[in-house]
Structure 1
Amino acid sequence: MTAPAPTASRFGHARQVADAVLFEGYVLYPYRASAAKNRMRWQFGVLVPPAWGPAGGEPSAQHTELVMEPRGDAELAVELRFLHARRRTVEEARGDGSFTPVPELRLPDRVLVPWDEGTEETVRMAVPVADLEAGVVELPFARPAAEEAEPVTDADGRQAGRLVRRAERLDGVLRLRAEQLDLPYRALKLTATVDNTSDWEPPPGAGREAALARSLVAAHLLLGLSAGSFLSLTDPPEWARAVVADCTNRHTWPVLAGDGGRADVVLSSPIILEDHPRIAPESAGAMYDATEIDEILALRTAALTDEEKREARGTDPRAAAVIDLADTMPPEVLDRLHGAVRAFREATSPAAPPPGVPEPQPPGAAARPDTPWWDPAGDPADPAPERVVVAGVPVGPGSRVVLRPGLRRTDAQDLFLLGSTALVEAVLHDVDGAVHLAVTVDGDPGADVRRAQGRFLYFQPDEVTPLEDA
């Protein structure tokens, strides 16, 4: 038997999602600094200096609470991850060896402009759970002010200018504690807080950009137990629902993020995620613009003009990587971005069964390969009856009804059909046990097309009245 891997090594899977959180909205399409939507940046997980908070309306701290069930002498590993903004200015070289700040520096392959870059920062700690029960454990951290210059050369190898990057001092503290809960099982409430403790006082006229330079940007936590598990905030066991509901989370949202559905790792994110989030396997690379779809971004980016691409390449190395990705993406990779029916894919993803055992197939579609997946009758295994009683009359395929859309769940299109007669094509039952009638409206010239394609209108039984001759 081999010894278990250190808890921090279990963060590998969760860190993929955490990277997407870290760079959420870092640079938006069209990936140029001059674009209006790239002038107001970093909206998620920003912890500003305390003195700036009241003026800017942004928090200086995150607060995470969740329930865990540690086993034995369990150890808690923590990673605080954030971006430290640094201001990049552009300077042009003069003949006397001096440099002058300029709004842009044009080179053959890129146009360099002033920009705020984000440097990845990580604060790590590991502490026995027993120490957390004994009291609050604190870890202060700091990032010093810094300045560096990077020479920029032209096509002939001569220095055309330089990029000057300046970072301001940043201070913070990570606090952890755990308290025993009054439950039939050993469970603890874990509290983790992250505070920006900078003593910076904004001078008169200071804007958000000055505060961002001293802020923890896109701050989030990775939490891992060496032995034991965490409880889901959205789907806890029945015995723990009350204590889980009592957990308070401010400016963060903890979700289970262990590999393979394990519950020993949590990602406490500044954006709302579901338990066990994952990166789409079709994604060819980071697009840094999570409000769009990879396929659309790739197509739009490839369609940018050469001048727009030069400015994007000069805006940020990550923007340059997106341009290169779009320009070099093979057609077959782009095709993968067009869409995926995951239920079908995952149903056929397990390893091949032993000889003599049939391959697992998607329900319905495999049993009747000649039936489209969207056919309401495509699942022969559905045990639900084909008829439902409405006002004492059995209604099923072939029945004729009058449509009486209900006000509590009706859209404008349904209201136009009030009083229309229709033919019931199928009686459907959803996973919640609700009954729906698939119908085609009498007099609809496209009824035959709807019937052939399985594109019906749907009403619940209390929204129809059987015709007297039914």
Structure 2
Amino acid sequence: MTTSVLPDEMAARFATARQVADAVLFEGYVLYPYRASAAKNRLRWQFGVLVPPGWGADSAEHSFQRTECLMEPRSGARLSAELRFLRAQRRTVQRVRADGGFETVAELELPDRVLVPWDEGVEERVTAVVDVAALHGEGITVPFSRPAQDETEPVHDADGRLVGRLVRRREEIAGLLRLTATELAGPYAAFRLTATVENTSAWAPDGPADRDAALPRALVASHLLLGLDSGSFLSLTDPPEWARSAVAACRNQHTWPVLAGEPGRTDVLLSSPIILEDHPAIAPESPGALYDALEIDEILALRTAALTDQEKREARGTDARAAEVIDLADSMPPEVLERLHGAVRALREVTGPGPTAPEELTPDVPGLRPETPWWDPESDRSVDPVRDRVTIDGRSVGAGSRVRLRPGARRTDAQDLFLHGRDAQVEAVLHDVDGGVHLAVTVDGDPGADIRRAQGRFLYFQPDEVAPLEDA
């Protein structure tokens, strides 16, 4: 039996995980300084964009996502799935003409905001609830579609006079959600669950078309919430020993599945287009969505509050969510801002003699002052970032070496993936306190490379994330 109505208990479990899912949905939706005119807001929708299959076969976007994970459902278990994505809604601005008609304009000035053309994001959801037993074989397919739609919103000035209107256009989209399950061989009652999301929109450009033409027909920031009413999912990053080979065989394309919800729970899984850890959570100190990166709330709040009145008017006219950010920054009380300054999440006990003990350090490093802290570079003269070298693929690599970047798929920052295949120069070889080795690099063609060298602000990769291009 299949239905589209989530059970109340599962809806409550999804609600707990949805706070993080919302951050995924609106990741980078509108960036500081929150104005449409800002360069960083002219190329939008970077993550989870599923385009129509008839467009952009050679583009960086794809028409599908594939999630594979392991689950241990109990007898009679039901699987709930919720696909969430944004639908780009194209907004144009029109002004009232003298004859009472309307004309399209680049902007419309109002006392409190400046209205400009903009692509708004409308949240869409597709849900399915199915018996796990029905997923064997061909499984189930849930097609969905959304019709084209036009809306207009009148715009009045402070005196209530009609001065213009906003015209919003949504294009027709179609897609499907396919769910299948295959039982694994062995003593454990485990299954491999495959969830595929496809954009099946029939639109294709008549001729060459840029990305902007495809976006209104795309599923943007697509991600899945999956839940079992009885049973559990297995972590793909930390599976039990018996499941490691089965996890390694899972094929996840354009998505990243992690356990979600409260820590310790294993009945909800979030399949995200950005890299997350198991049980991701929003910082409790965060006062609201700032649409940038969550870990830099303090600096964003301060810089947003410092925008000029004209910049704030432009931001308010760009998008309703941008207006909420401006209002949040302007109204944030000091005690809330203070909470953003930093927080200690966990402490670990350190046993044994400390590294600053004179009897430990003085014999190895002659002349070292006993009070020198462990983090001072002079506390260990056995390492030298400029002269140290590391062997990679049989070649000696150090400062000045040329390498090709190949970021690791599991531990790297999502932004680093954009540098895959780029050539770079090693600036230093660094060792951390846990014995790890890191290469500080500057990327070829980076116009800020000289500034990075002057400030010591590099990009960092581990040795297995680079390939040497030449011998020392």
What range describes the TM-score normalised by the shorter chain of this pair?
0.7 to 0.9
Q: Distance in 1 between matches of 2:98 and 2:273?
A: 49
| RMSD of equivalent CA atoms | 2.3
Q: In structure 2, which of residues 187, 210, 213 is the aligned counterpart of residue 210 of structure 1?
A: 213
3-state DSSP of counterpart to 1:176: strand
Q: Cα offset for 1:397?
A: 4.8
Q: Which residue is equivalent to 1:392?
A: none
3-state DSSP of counterpart to 1:83: strand
Q: Distance in 2 between matches of 1:341 and 1:226?
A: 35
Q: In structure 2, which of residues 127, 130, 133 is the aligned counterpart of residue 130 of structure 1?
A: 133
Q: Cα offset for 1:55?
A: 4.2
Matched, 1:286 2:289: yes
Q: Distance in 1 between matches of 2:85 and 2:354?
A: 56
Q: Which residue is equivalent to 1:368?
A: none
Q: Which residue is equivalent to 1:234?
A: 237
Q: Distance in 2 between matches of 1:13 and 1:7?
A: 10
Given the superposition, is the C-alpha separation of residues 40 and 152 from structure 1 closer, same or farther in structure 2, using an over 3 Å criterion?
same
Aligned residues: 373
Conserved in 2, the CA contact under 8 Å of 1:405 and 1:414? no
Q: Which residue is equivalent to 2:180?
A: 177
Q: Which residue is equivalent to 2:333?
A: 330
Q: In structure 2, which of residues 33, 44, 56 is the aligned counterpart of residue 30 of structure 1?
A: 33
Identity of aligned residues (%): 66
Deviations for 1:390-438, whole angstroms, at most 9, x for unmatched residues? xxxxx725424366636xxx523889xxxxxxxxxxxxx98x7x79xxx
Matched, 1:48 2:51: yes
Q: Which residue is equivalent to 1:412?
A: 386
Q: Which residue is equivalent to 1:154?
A: 157
Which stretch of the first structure deviates more once superposed, 299-308 or 134-143? 134-143
Q: Cα offset for 1:122?
A: 0.3
**Aligned AA (1:282):** E
Q: Which residue is equivalent to 1:258?
A: 261
Which stretch of the first structure deviates more once superposed, 149-158 or 258-267? 258-267
Q: Cα offset for 1:134?
A: 4.2
Deviations for 1:354-401, whole angstroms, at most 9, x for unmatched residues? xxxxxxxx85xxxxxxxxxxxxxxx5xx1x4679xxxxxxx7254243
Conserved in 2, the CA contact under 8 Å of 1:84 and 1:217? yes
Report matched runs for 1:450-465 at 5 Å.
none
Conserved in 2, the CA contact under 8 Å of 1:295 and 1:337? yes
Q: Distance in 1 between matches of 2:223 and 2:304?
A: 29
Q: Which residue is equivalent to 1:466?
A: none
**Aligned AA (1:306):** D
Q: Distance in 2 between matches of 1:148 and 1:226?
A: 40
Q: Which residue is equivalent to 1:456?
A: none
Q: Which residue is equivalent to 1:396?
A: 360
Q: In structure 1, which of residues 297, 320, 325 is the aligned counterpart of residue 300 of structure 2?
A: 297
Q: In structure 1, which of residues 92, 95, 99 is the aligned counterpart of residue 95 of structure 2?
A: 92
Q: Distance in 1 between matches of 2:173 and 2:58?
A: 19
Q: Distance in 1 between matches of 2:93 and 2:238?
A: 51
Any unmatched runs of 5+ in structure 2? 1-6, 367-379, 390-431, 437-472
**Aligned AA (1:222):** L
Any unmatched runs of 5+ in structure 1? 345-361, 364-378, 388-394, 416-428, 436-470
Q: Cα offset for 1:7?
A: 2.1
Q: Cα offset for 1:188?
A: 0.1
Conserved in 1, the CA contact under 8 Å of 2:286 and 2:294? no
Q: Distance in 2 between matches of 1:273 and 1:386?
A: 34
Matched, 1:307 2:310: yes
Matched, 1:71 2:74: yes
3-state DSSP of counterpart to 2:263: helix
Larger Rg: 1
**Aligned AA (1:206):** A
Q: Cα offset for 1:6?
A: 2.8
Deviations for 1:133-186, whole angstroms, at most 9, x for unmatched residues? 243200000011000000000010011100000000000000000000012210
Given the superposition, is the C-alpha separation of residues 386 and 320 from structure 1 closer, same or farther in structure 2, using an over 3 Å criterion?
closer
**Aligned AA (1:411):** P
Q: Distance in 2 between matches of 1:400 and 1:173?
A: 65
